[in-house]
């Protein structure tokens, strides 16, 4: 594992860390915007290479010599890959940035201003729009993330599969429950102190889990929509991938077990048992046998891992200072979406939306 040498450390305010796995072509396409719009005197740009087998490292050295490189010896996944990389960061702030993100002029300004102004803010997310269809929000983050009572994440600008057009309706800064790992600003010291991303997750929902943990410990998380980035999305695993289905379901269950309050955990898990197997039946009826099996395997492996997570859950609950989180919707987003037709964030209860600001 190649580490940054002492003379490569800087006293800049910000490290932009891009975790790469076989993404040479994506970096050729998107790194230029990161370099162009990230002032050299402010930010270090670091690529943490997750054991790529393509020519990523050689390409970086040839075409982007100012970019610092951390070479990991294998693919540790999104979660542990970032954990290992950020242990080498010595700047006040770190940005977790996907390799398929195009940033825009001034993208650093609003997030940094928000964090400089309020030390209770641990994480900030910009507005994330779809690179392929720039008039619309991007699925993984949109204008800030929330969660419902059953542990289902959703966004301001995306509920379930329904992605909204960006018409400026969510241009106000707002407190959120989770910031997308596609572009996540965080205080480096807090990331390290509070345990970073859960390595067992490997990939998918690990940032939601981390953000939920931070919020329950009293930190604020904010979306600053006047900072804009464009995300390709789905560049590593396709939407219909059984592997992605497995990770999403397993990790979501682990996240609920780790973070949910004791008084509601049992009823939530009973409902999730029903909802998960309804999802599996839907996969079967639509001809996605492998995805249906992935749901079953996810639930099986959650049960196997649960006892190992008991100590983690106990620690989380012992450090909880915010027992009622305003950014948690006290209803089921699936029921609201399918039974009541609430397909847009703006259609959710005004009293809840106002409370979450």
- Hey, how many other C-beta atoms are within 10 angstroms of the C-beta on 133? 12
Which token pair is 273?
């048992």
Q: With contact defined as beta carbons under 8 Å apart, do 193 and 184 qualify?
A: no
Instruction: Read off the pLDDT of residues 149-175 as tens digits, 9 standing for 90 and up.
Output: 999 999 999 999 999 999 999 999 999
Round to whole Å and give the CA distance between 121 and 94.
13
Round to whole Å and give the CA distance between 236 and 114.
31
Q: How far is CA 174 from CA 3, 17, 179, 225, in A?
A: 37, 25, 11, 9
**Percent of the chain whose predicted confidence (pLDDT) is above 90:** 91
pLDDT along the chain (357 residues), means of 10: 62 94 96 97 97 96 97 94 96 97 98 97 98 95 97 97 96 97 98 96 94 98 98 64 95 97 94 97 96 97 96 96 94 96 93 65
Q: With contact defined as beta carbons under 8 Å apart, do 161 and 239 qualify?
A: no
Q: Which domains does the chain have, with CATH numbers?
A: 6-231 (3.90.550.10), 242-321 (no CATH)
Round to whole Å and give the CA distance between 93 and 80.
19
Provide the 3-class DSSP secondary structure of residue 62. Answer: helix
- CB within 8 A of 55, min separation 6: which ones? 24
Instruction: Read off the pLDDT of residues 87-146 as tens digits, 9 standing for 90 and up.
Output: 999 999 999 999 999 999 999 999 999 999 999 999 999 999 999 999 999 999 999 999
Round to whole Å and give the CA distance between 292 and 278.
10
Which token pair is 320?
């909880």
Round to whole Å and give the CA distance between 356 and 323.
15
Cross-strand partners of 268: none
């Amino acid at each position: 594992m190649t580490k940054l040498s002492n003379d490569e450390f800087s006293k800049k305010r910000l490290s932009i860390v891009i975790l790469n796995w076989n993404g040479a072509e994506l970096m050729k396409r998107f790194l230029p915007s990161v370099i162009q719009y990230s002032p050299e005197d402010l930010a270090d740009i670091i690529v943490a290479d997750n054991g790529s087998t393509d020519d990523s490292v050689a390409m970086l050295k040839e075409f982007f010599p100012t970019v610092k490189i951390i070479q990991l010896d294998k693919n540790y996944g999104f979660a542990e890959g970032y954990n290992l990389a950020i242990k080498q960061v010595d700047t006040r702030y770190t940005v977790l940035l996907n390799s398929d993100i195009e940033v825009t002029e001034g993208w650093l300004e609003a997030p940094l201003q928000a964090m400089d102004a309020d030390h209770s803010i641990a994480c900030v997310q910009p507005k994330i729009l779809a690179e392929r269809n720039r008039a619309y929000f991007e699925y993984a983050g949109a204008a800030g993330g929330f969660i419902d009572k059953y542990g289902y994440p959703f966004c301001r600008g995306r509920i379930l599969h329904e992605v909204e057009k960006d018409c400026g309706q969510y241009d106000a800064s707002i407190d959120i429950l989770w910031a997308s790992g596609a572009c996540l600003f965080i205080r480096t010291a807090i990331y390290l102190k509070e345990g970073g991303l859960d390595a067992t997750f490997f990939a998918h929902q690990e940032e939601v889990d981390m953000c939920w943990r931070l919020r329950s410990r009293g930190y604020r998380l904010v979306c600053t929509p006047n900072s804009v980035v464009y995300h390709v999305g789905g560049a590593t695993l396709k939407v219909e991938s059984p592997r992605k289905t497995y990770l999403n379901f397993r990790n979501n269950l682990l996240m609920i077990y780790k973070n949910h309050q004791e008084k509601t955990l049992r009823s939530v898990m009973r409902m999730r048992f029903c909802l998960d197997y309804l999802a599996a039946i839907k996969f079967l009826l639509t001809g996605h046998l492998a995805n249906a099996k992935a749901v079953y395997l996810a639930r099986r492996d959650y049960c196997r891992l649960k006892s190992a997570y008991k100590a983690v859950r106990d620690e989380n609950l012992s450090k909880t200072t915010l027992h009622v989180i305003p950014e948690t919707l006290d209803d089921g987003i699936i029921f609201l979406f399918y039974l009541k037709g609430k397909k847009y964030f703006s259609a959710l209860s005004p009293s809840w939306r106002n409370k979450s600001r």
